[in-house]
Amino acid sequence: MRSESPGVLVVDDSPFIRRVVADVVRDDAGYTVLGEAADGAEAVRLVHALLPAVVTLDLEMPGLGGLDALGYIMSECPRPVVVLTGREDAAGEDLALRALELGAVDFVRKPSCDSALDLETLRRRLTQALHAALQGRADPPRRAPARPWRKTPGLTPLAAVTALPATRLIVIAASTGGPRTLTELLPSLPVMPDTAWVVVQHMPASFTGSFARRLNELGTMPVSEVVDGMPLVGAHIYVAPGGIHTIIDGRPGEARLRFSDAAAVHGVRPAADICLESASRSFGHALVTVVLTGMGRDGAAGARATRERGGCVVVQTPESCVVAGMPQAVLQLLEPDEVATPDALPDVLRALCAESPARARG
């Protein structure tokens, strides 16, 4: 093994999983295993001592658990962390999503047994996650502000604004680093009665429902996972489910969300490009496309379709991304209307939506 290969710290209370992960790190990913830890306290100590390029971190361990260890790592010695979870229930999904909010780059399911199929899936996903982590950056998370309407008993988001059939649409595309960025962004998004939001986040099917519920607890608008055929309503955020494409069907004011079982694009379903192509046909100049942090180039073709049909394109500044592949892919194709940090995005989107949707383009 080359001495210059990136070093990885493997953390798990199971000796079997540590051995499997270490084999993937060395044999599949081509990296160096700097050390192993069986609990969170030892993990924090070794992060300081070894300064690994990446940490693989089990979320459920005796003593100092994975979430607590992740908090210490991101506050004291930030670096890319890939978390592993073995639970397949709602609590396990919430745990993984919370880890992403705390700064983990990605999550990978541990095998439910030592079958060849489970182990092969682990090898493939962990290798992808390690490569993404090494392309990314690690920053301590910021705390999202609480929603003021939660303090008033009986008051719901829908009671706070009169929603209308959506005549304007904002589609947000995100991948690696997206869950954390979105949880920080949503509490500040402008609530516009005529504007619907669709989030296309690369995420396994079993997690998007929990992700939508988590976002619903954080933002100023109601958040729902997409159901086939549901109408697009303003002042509402829709999360595209994993494992299937979400498309927009119908003109502004009458549009509905539909599912498509077309093949994966860029290796992912849902793909932002599929959603954006249909959205640009339906909404034209009333569409705003936002491409956030992520690995790969999903969203670039959709941004081009948005521009060709008169809509607006906004990308996250590459330097503020966990992984900048998706915004950079857009920048290689066209000059967006705005390039903004997550902090600036709410004001940028508010200003764009305040402009005439029928503005002429050169």
Active site residues: 175, 202, 298
Give burial (CB, 10 Å; 0-12/13-18/19+) of 16: exposed
Please say whether the beta carbons of 36 and 10 come within 8 A: yes
Angle between helices 66-76 and 40-50 (to 10 degrees): 20
SS3 sequence of 95-146: HHHHHHHCCCCEEEECCCCCCHHHHHHHHHHHHHHHHHHHHCCCCCCCCCCC
Q: 140 - beta bridge partners?
A: none
CA pseudo-torsion sign 333, 291, 90, 79: positive
Please say whether the beta carbons of 8 and 53 come within 8 A: yes
Copy the structure tokens of residue 242: 């994993």
Copy the structure tokens of residue 361: 């383009």
Complete DSSP assignment for 57-75: EES--SSS-HHHHHHHHHH
Copy the structure tokens of residue 192: 């516009």
Please say whether the beta carbons of 311 and 352 come within 8 A: no
